[in-house]
Structure formats: structure tokens, C-alpha cells
């Protein structure tokens, strides 16, 4: 009999946590497989804990635990060190999973031998406001998120990362735990550590997760600028093997805007090139906005998305730049203490 520990790190997930856990309880379970559900809460101040406790009344497989470290990496490490399972399944509190999710992951893991297996996001609107539609358009279009395959779709096979993850428990003994210094990007770093250690991360695009992006457009933009982007730079510092051109594009964009704009003051030729690139960017932003407006059947996207795309790219680029500056001046929260990773050191 094989055991799976299902880990759901949460914080203020009252809107989706009931549907999330109910979808997990509805999993079809393969023969010779047992599972336990650990919901690890980082100190929710809404109704999340009460909802989980109400579910526990009729489902003793659901356990509620505290996460004093509050972050997802801290929650995962609590579960990894406590679990006696053969696999660790990491889930997200604002997602809903198909009944075949567990079976499909187990079969894919056994068939491929991969240390981590995952599926793809089917990103859903949080609601029906204009902000919800703009957020959905931003994170589901390659012009917004780049070439993240788990969002935009890829063929089955080895990849650099997958959402959430279905891990062989043994991999944590081989290459270590999640890096708790990384408030963001901890999953990408760990997946890259798997790969650089000679193991596989496998994407099965037939496994589809219904994912709900949290927050209004302003909150999402702020999250990317203040957390996601700086932690890309911090991740590169802690684990150089995680460097990806996909994460560097917005930094190049904002650097080009700043440096090109300054140099164009002194050279008409640089000014022509600079303006030409700006016009090209504007053309692409408008074109993709019309494309997204047509595919989503929302005419307002054609008007609003050029501004959303450009705001995201500028703010994300500035966030990466701020992260690099903080590293240079030794002001980054990840500096000091534990040494940086080399390749796959424990």
C-alpha cells in the first residue's frame, strides 16, 4: 500500500477553500493507494479555518495544521519533514481539481519515473468585474506571462517547472527541502534543483487544474512588482542555475526604456531606433489586445489591455531592477545566513 500526503498551504482562502477541499475529497483513488489531506494555515484572519473545521466534522482524513512561518515554502517543509508518505502532492487553496487528478498524477509518475509531475492551469475569472477580466487576460496571454508552458499549454514531456507538483518523497532526502528564504519562486528553484541534479520534472497537459487568480488588477500588478519580480533576482542570487531568459525580458525592457531614452537625447540615430522599438512594442500590445478581445469576446479588452500589458511589463521590470539593486547594496532579505546553492548541494 502506497501513501500520498496531500499538502494545501493556505492563507485567507475563504472564497475557494471549500470547493478546493471538496474536489480533493472527490478524487478517484487507484488501487493500493491511500491518502491524507493536510491543510497548513499561515494564520488566516478570515473564515478559512472555520470552513476547514466544518469539513473536518464528516472527513477525518482532513487535518488542519499551523504554519508559523506563514510562507508556502515553510508550509511545505513542515509537511515534508512530518510525512511518512511515498509521494507529496502540493495543492493550492484557490484551485479546483478534477476527479481523475490523483490517478493521472500517479500513472504519469510511475510511467515516466519523474521526481515531480504536474499539469496545466485552466485560469478562471475570479468574478465578473472589469478588473477580473483584465487580470484573466493578462495572465493567460503569452505577451503577458511569457512562455510559461503550464499556463499557455505544451506537449507532454520534460519541462523546467510545473504548477504545484506531485513529488517523490525520496527527492527531498536527495537534494534538500524548499528554500525558506524564497517567499516567491521557491517552486521554480526547487524544480530547477531537481533538473540540475539529473532528475526529471514532467508535464502532462491532459491534467487540467481550474485556477482562480486572487486579487484585483491593482493588487495583482503590485504583487508582481513588489514580490514576484524582486524574488526572481533573489532566486538567481541564491541559485544561479535558475536563471532564465523568460524572467529577464522585463528587466531588459525597462533598462532599454531608461538607457535608450537617455542616449536618444544625444544622438538622432539612437532616437530613431528608440522610437522605432517603442512603436513596434505599441503595435504588438495593441495587436495582441485585439486578439485577446476577440478570443474572450470582450470588446473592452481591446481598449484596456495595451495599458495593462505595458503597466505589467514596466512594473515587473522595475521590480527585478529593484531586487538587483538591493542585492548590490546587500539590502536583500535573502542575504546573510545560509550559503547560496551551487548546483544541487544539500
Domains and CATH numbers, the chain: 2-215 (3.90.550.10)
pLDDT score for 149? 47
pLDDT score for 151? 52
Mean pLDDT per 10-residue section of the chain, whose length is 346 residues = 95 94 95 94 96 94 95 96 96 95 96 95 85 92 68 75 94 96 94 96 94 89 93 95 86 94 94 95 96 94 96 96 96 85 59
pLDDT score for 140? 87
- Strand 62-66 with 33-41, pairing: parallel
Amino acid at each position: 500500500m502506497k501513501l500520498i500526503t496531500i499538502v494545501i498551504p493556505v492563507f485567507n482562502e475563504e472564497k475557494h477553500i471549500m470547493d478546493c477541499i471538496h474536489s480533493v475529497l472527490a478524487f478517484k483513488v487507484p488501487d493500493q493507494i491511500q491518502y491524507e489531506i493536510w491543510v497548513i494555515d499561515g494564520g488566516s484572519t478570515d473564515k478559512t479555518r472555520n470552513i476547514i473545521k466544518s469539513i473536518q466534522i464528516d472527513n477525518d482524513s482532513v487535518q488542519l495544521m499551523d504554519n508559523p512561518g506563514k510562507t508556502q515554502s515553510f508550509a511545505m517543509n513542515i509537511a515534508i519533514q512530518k510525512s511518512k508518505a511515498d509521494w507529496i502532492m502540493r495543492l493550492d487553496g484557490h484551485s479546483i481539481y478534477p476527479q481523475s487528478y490523483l490517478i493521472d498524477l500517479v500513472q504519469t509518475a510511475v510511467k515516466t519515473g519523474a521526481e515531480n509531475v504536474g499539469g496545466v492551469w485552466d485560469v478562471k475569472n475570479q468574478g465578473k468585474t472589469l478588473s477580473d477580466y483584465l487580470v484573466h487576460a493578462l495572465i493567460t496571454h503569452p505577451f503577458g506571462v511569457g512562455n510559461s508552458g503550464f499556463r499557455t499549454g505544451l506537449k507532454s514531456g520534460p519541462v523546467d517547472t510545473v504548477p504545484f507538483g506531485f513529488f517523490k518523497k525520496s527527492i527531498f532526502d536527495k537534494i534538500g527541502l524548499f528554500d525558506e528564504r524564497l517567499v516567491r519562486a521557491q517552486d521554480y528553484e526547487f524544480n530547477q534543483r531537481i533538473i540540475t541534479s539529473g532528475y526529471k520534472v514532467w508535464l502532462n497537459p491532459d491534467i487540467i487544474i481550474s485556477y482562480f487568480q486572487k486579487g484585483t488588477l491593482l493588487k495583482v500588478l503590485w504583487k508582481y512588482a513588489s514580490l514576484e519580480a524582486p524574488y526572481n533576482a533573489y532566486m538567481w542570487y541564491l541559485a544561479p542555475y535558475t536563471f532564465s531568459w523568460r524572467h529577464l525580458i522585463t528587466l531588459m525592457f525597462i533598462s532599454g526604456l531608461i538607457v535608450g531614452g537617455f542616449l536618444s537625447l544625444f544622438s538622432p540615430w539612437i532616437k530613431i531606433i528608440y522610437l522605432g522599438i517603442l512603436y513596434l512594442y505599441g503595435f504588438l500590445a495593441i495587436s495582441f489586445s485585439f486578439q485577446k478581445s476577440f478570443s474572450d469576446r470582450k470588446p473592452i479588452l481591446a481598449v484596456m489591455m495595451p495599458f495593462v500589458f505595458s503597466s505589467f511589463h514596466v512594473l515587473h521590470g522595475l521590480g527585478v531592477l529593484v531586487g538587483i539593486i538591493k542585492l548590490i547594496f546587500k539590502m536583500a532579505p535573502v542575504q546573510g545566513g545560509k550559503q547560496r546553492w551551487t548546483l544541487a548541494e544539500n
